[in-house]
């Protein structure tokens, strides 16, 4: 394992690549992608980020070495040329960076593709006591972007990741090049499926989600419209990180964090994001939507369209919530063209281009 950046004092970000760092907060089931049944579907190297305490992370409760203390590690992938335009992918619940694999493989020749596993998700650590609120996920995503010293980036978000992306973007709109949203929301809503609402019921929700994996397992069927695509291999890729009670903590925490009432801890944060969406109106915006979605229905897409009437919109009636699984072969060329146009526009407006034209 190599130290990419940072020191080991707890006051600077630590960026590592390779094998998982030792951690008392690691998932109960340790997964090595290259040794998994779905290795060919996830051909990426693992990278790790530990947020410095002074940036708002939790302080260690014991141990003097950050690699073996109680400060959590986030897993992420970072593919493509280091000097290429940066795309930051943010997944939702109950997926992980595995969800973005087809797009990353198709874009990494020309773009730097970074995909984060949120705390408690994918290969990231599983602390019981750490905050799993919307604002915390936004803070951690922004902290990784800062630790990587990325000044300009585009955000791509799905499900909860779309809301987190909106939170990152509205906090630093001057650094955002474009926004892409897929089957998500970034505003207050009372629209919630009964099946998800039931998972918020005390005790029952814990038993259903953490005890029986009733959220992630059901999603591998209900979130796709083209069921033949969810092969045994892909199903394992989605579910292996959530194989036991400990490792399912964040799938429950995300459900519990849906803010429906003003007194909810994340209600004010989401209201702040919604109020700040106009700061993104001048950005190139694309919407990719599976309209056969029981959760983020076309009503959410139409809400985005009202907020951003100039957005590029692609919606398919034959695709579900996991729109990338149902339509990656449609999305990839459209998304690539979306980003390519931005690079062409940036090149044509650069001072060098102006001098050359003169």
Give the model confidence (pLDDT) of 37-59 as tens digits.
Answer: 999 999 999 999 998 765 555 54
Among 179-183, 195-199, 278-282, 319-323, where is mean pLDDT lowest?
A: 195-199
pLDDT at 68: 40
Residue 108 pLDDT greater than 90, yes or no: yes
Among 31-40, 58-67, 177-186, where is mean pLDDT lowest?
A: 58-67
Average pLDDT of the segment spanning 239-261: 97
Residue 347 pLDDT greater than 90, yes or no: no
Tokens of 120: 């408690």
Residue 4 pLDDT greater than 50, yes or no: no
**Alpha-carbon distance 331 to 339, whole Å?**
12
The confidence band for 11, taking pLDDT boundaries of 50, 70 and 90, is low
Q: Beta strands of the chain (E only): which ranges?
A: 2-5, 14-17, 47-50, 74-79, 86-90, 112-116, 153-159, 176-184, 285-290, 312-316
**Alpha-carbon distance 318 to 334, whole Å?**
17
Average pLDDT, the chain: 91
Q: What structural domains and CATH numbers belong to the chain? A: 2-357 (3.40.50.1820)
The confidence band for 66, taking pLDDT boundaries of 50, 70 and 90, is very low
Tokens of 172: 């630093």
Listing from the earlier edge strand, what are the strands of the sheet with 2-5? 2-5, 14-17, 47-50, 74-79, 112-116, 86-90, 153-159, 176-184, 285-290, 312-316
Residue 69 pLDDT greater than 70, yes or no: no
pLDDT at 61: 41
To the nearest 10 degrees (0 to 180), the angle between helices 134-147 and 160-171 is 60
pLDDT at 358: 46
Per DSSP, helices labelled H in 51-193 are 101-107, 134-147, 160-171
Among 72-81, 130-139, 274-283, 291-300, where is mean pLDDT lowest?
A: 130-139
**Alpha-carbon distance 193 to 183, whole Å?**
14
Q: Say what the pTM is.
A: 0.92
Average pLDDT of the segment spanning 10-33: 90
The candidate with the shortest Cα–Cα distance to 318, out of 230, 220, 184, 226, is 226
Q: pLDDT above 90 covers what percent of the chain?
A: 84
The candidate with the shortest Cα–Cα distance to 168, out of 94, 276, 329, 311, is 276
pLDDT at 51: 82
Three-class DSSP category at 313? strand
Among 2-6, 27-31, 72-76, 322-326, where is mean pLDDT lowest?
A: 2-6
Average pLDDT of the segment spanning 196-224: 94
What are the b/e assignments for 307-343, b being 16+ CB within 10 Å? bbeebbebbbeebbbbbbbbbbeebbeebbebbeebe
The candidate with the shortest Cα–Cα distance to 33, out of 21, 16, 15, 45, is 45
């Amino acid at each position: 394992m190599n130290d990419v950046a940072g020191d080991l004092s707890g006051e600077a970000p630590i960026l590592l690549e390779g094998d998982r760092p030792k951690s008392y907060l690691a998932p109960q089931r340790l997964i090595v992608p290259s040794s998994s049944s779905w290795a060919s579907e996830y051909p990426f190297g693992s990278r790790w980020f530990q947020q410095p305490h002074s940036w708002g992370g939790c302080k260690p409760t014991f141990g003097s070495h950050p690699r073996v203390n109680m400060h959590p590690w986030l897993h992420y992938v970072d593919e493509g040329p280091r000097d290429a335009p940066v795309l930051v992918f943010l997944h939702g619940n109950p997926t992980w960076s595995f969800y973005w694999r087809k797009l990353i493989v198709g874009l990494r020749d020309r773009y730097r593709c970074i995909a984060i596993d949120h705390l408690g998700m994918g290969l990231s650590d599983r602390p019981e006591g750490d905050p799993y609120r919307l604002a915390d996920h936004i803070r951690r995503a922004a902290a990784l972007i800062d630790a990587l010293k990325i000044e300009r980036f585009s955000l791509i978000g799905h499900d909860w990741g779309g809301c987190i992306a909106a939170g990152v973007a509205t906090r630093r709109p001057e650094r955002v090049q474009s926004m892409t949203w897929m089957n998500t929301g970034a505003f207050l809503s009372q629209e919630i499926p009964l099946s998800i609402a039931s998972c918020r019921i005390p005790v029952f929700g814990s038993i259903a989600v953490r005890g029986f994996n009733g959220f992630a397992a059901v999603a591998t069927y209900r979130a796709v419209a083209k069921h033949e695509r969810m092969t045994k291999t892909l199903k394992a890729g989605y579910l292996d990180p959530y194989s036991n009670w400990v490792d399912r903590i964040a799938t429950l925490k995300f459900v519990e964090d849906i803010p429906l009432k003003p007194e909810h801890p994340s209600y004010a944060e989401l209201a702040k994001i919604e109020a700040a969406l106009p700061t993104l109106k001048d950005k190139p915006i694309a919407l990719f939507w599976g309209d056969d979605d029981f959760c983020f229905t076309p009503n959410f897409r139409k809400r985005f369209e009202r907020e951003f009437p100039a957005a590029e919109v692609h919606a398919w009636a034959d695709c579900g919530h996991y729109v990338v699984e149902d339509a990656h072969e449609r999305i990839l060329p459209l998304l690539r063209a979306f980003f390519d146009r931005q690079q062409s526009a940036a090149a044509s407006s650069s001072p060098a281009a102006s001098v050359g034209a003169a």
